[in-house]
Amino acid sequence: MTFKRFAMSASSQVLDGVFAVNKPTGMTSADICNEVKYKLSKSSLFAPVMEAQSSQRDDFKRRGQRLSRKMRQTKHVKIGHGGTLDPEASGVISFGVGDGTKALNHLQKNAKKGYEAVMVFGVATDSFDREGKVVGRKSWDGVTRDVVEARLAEFRGKVMQRPSVYSALSRGGVKMYEYARQGKDIPELEKREMFVSELEVVDWMEGGKHDWRWPSEEIEKDRKDAFVKALRFEEIGGVEVVEGSEKQGLEHDESEKGKGKRKRDANGYQDQKRSKVAGDDQPEAQDKDVSSQDRAEEHDTLVDDTRDDPAETTPAETTPAAAQQDEAKVQVPCPAPALRIRMVVSSGFYVRSLCHDLGVAVGSLATMVALNRTKQACFELGENVIDYEDFSKGEDVWGPKVAARLNEWPSLHAKLKEDEGPAVE
C-alpha cells in the first residue's frame, strides 16, 4: 500500500489496541512512550482520533459545559506502556493505544516474558548489575560451562526467588531501595514462587577473550556493612569484601542537590536527559501519569528486571551503554568468564537475581552486565515488534506497521487468553 492510499484509508483503521516496540539501550521507557505518543498524535493515521477529541471539547464549550480535567489535558493520543525496561536494557516494550491501555496490566502481570542476559563471574554488586557498585569478589576457579549447565536444572520450573534489594517493595512503609541507598540495615525479603519454563546457555565466553568488564566502582564504606549482610557473604563463604570508597552514599547525594548533581533513582543510577528521535521536532512535555508510572516500575527492573523490570545523562555526558564502551577501551580484558543465558519466565521474575544466584550456585559470584527482553506475551523480537528507529524515518515507514499491529491485536489478544496456563499466573 502506498502512503497516499494508507493515509486515505486511515479513518477506517482500527485505532485501539496494543503494539510493541524494540527499545534501544540508553533510553527510559517513558522516553520511548513520549516519543511514540508525539509521533502518533501528529500523524495522519490518528488524525480521526485527534479530530474527534477536538470536536468533543468544542461541543462541550458550545453547550457551556465545564471541561473535565481529563478533557482539558487530552490533546494527544491516549497511550501507555506495559512492562518497564531499565535504560541500559533493550528489547520488547508493549504500548496500549486507546482502549488497548486496558490490556496492559494483563500483559504486565499475567504473561510470559523472554530474556537474554549476559553475566560475568567473580564479583557481586549492590544492585546485581553492572551499574551497581562492587561489594565483594570471589574466585571463579572451577567454573566452567559444564558446571553451569549442570546447575541450571535447579533454576527451572517452579522456583523460589528472593527479590532484589533494589526493588520498590516496602517494609515498614519504606521502599527497599531507600534502605539500600541509605546504608541502613536492609530487611530480609521473603522468597517468592516464580516459574521458569525455559533456561539455557547460549554462549560461553572464556576469561580474557570477551569484551565484557567488571564494574569498577566500589561501594561506599558507609553502605558496605549493610550489603555484606544483605548479600549473605558469611553464608556464601570465601568472599573478599572490598575496602570500600571514601565517598558517602545518599546523604552526600542529597547534600549536593542544587549544585548540579542529579538525584539517583531506585537502582542507584543517575537520571539522564531524554534521547530524541533523530530528525524529530521537540515532543510534548512528559505527562505526569506516564512519569509516575514509569518511575514506580523502574524501581524494579535492571528489569524489568522483570518486576517490570533504571539512568539518564546531561548533554555533555554519554549514555550508560556508551560510557561502558569507553571504559572497555582502557580496561584490560576481564580475566573471569562470561555467560549468555536465554530464558522464558513468569511475570515478576528478577533476571539479575537469577544471575547472582547462579553465580553463587557454581561456587563464585556473578553480576549481570547486559539484558535484552526478547518476548512479552504475544510480542516477540523478529516477528511482530517494530524497531524504534523506524519512528525517525517518517510516517510512510512506521504508519503501516503500527496500523497492521493494531489490526492484528484482537486476534492476538484472544489467542493469548486461550493459551494461558498456570505457569504464567
Contact 22, 385 (CB under 8 A): yes
Contact 42, 10 (CB under 8 A): no
Please state, in angstroms and rounded to a whole number, the distance separating the CA atoms of residues 312 and 272: 2
Q: Which of 16, 59, 86, 185 is catalytic?
A: 86
* 8-state DSSP, 383: T
Cell representation of residue 72? 482539558
Region of 326 on the Ramachandran plot (φ > 0 left; ψ -120 to 50 alpha; else beta): alpha
Is 86 part of the annotated catalytic residue set?
A: yes
Q: What are phi and psi of 267, to 5 degrees?
A: -95, 10
Contact 37, 75 (CB under 8 A): no
Cell representation of residue 39? 509521533
Contact 116, 355 (CB under 8 A): no
DSSP-H helix ranges across 331-394: 351-361
Buried b / exposed e across 139-164, counting CB within 10 Å, b at 16+?
ebeebeeeebeeebeebeeebebbbb
- Please identify every residue annotated as catalytic: 86
